[in-house]
Amino acid sequence: GAGVSQSPRYKVAKRGQDVALRCDPISGHVSLFWYQQALGQGPEFLTYFQNEAQLDKSGLPSDRFFAERPEGSVSTLKIQRTQQEDSAVYLCASSTREEEISYEQYFGPGTRLTVT
């Protein structure tokens, strides 16, 4: 089956612009995670959904970051008024079908955001 897909793969935004990053998880996966990976660092947790419920958004760096998953499938990460420090790769991961407990997360290829 298809893996996690993300679009766009690359995004260049001028400082102050709003951007929207999309994630299509593996079909049937109920858990969806967003991570931010800065250059030379490991992925860092941003937010987490179980179906359409956002269970944890403690990793979002500011109120300019907003994520949604309205129908429990596709998710969008929105960044308003982008700043240079937002430049990073944004990774989406999905995990588990209903009534499963799993630790393994399956990652998409990421969206590389460059803010100029």
Burial class (CB in 10 A: 0-12, 13-18, 19+), 100: exposed
The residue range among 14-22, 63-71, 77-85, 103-111 that interacts with other proteins, by the rule CB under 8 A, is: 103-111
Contact call for residue 101 and other proteins (CB under 8 A): yes
Over the window 50 to 89, marking each residue x when it contacts other proteins by CB under 8 A and - when it does not, the resulting string is x-----x--x------------------------------
Do strands 88-95 and 111-115 pair parallel, antiparallel, or not at all (unpaired)?
Answer: antiparallel
The residue range among 12-20, 65-73, 75-83, 100-108 that interacts with other proteins, by the rule CB under 8 A, is: 100-108
Contact call for residue 31 and other proteins (CB under 8 A): yes
3-state SS, residue 85: helix
Start-to-end CA span in the chain (Å): 37
Q: Which helix (H) or strand (E) holds 74?
A: none
| Residue among 102 and 116 whose Cβ is closer to other proteins | 102
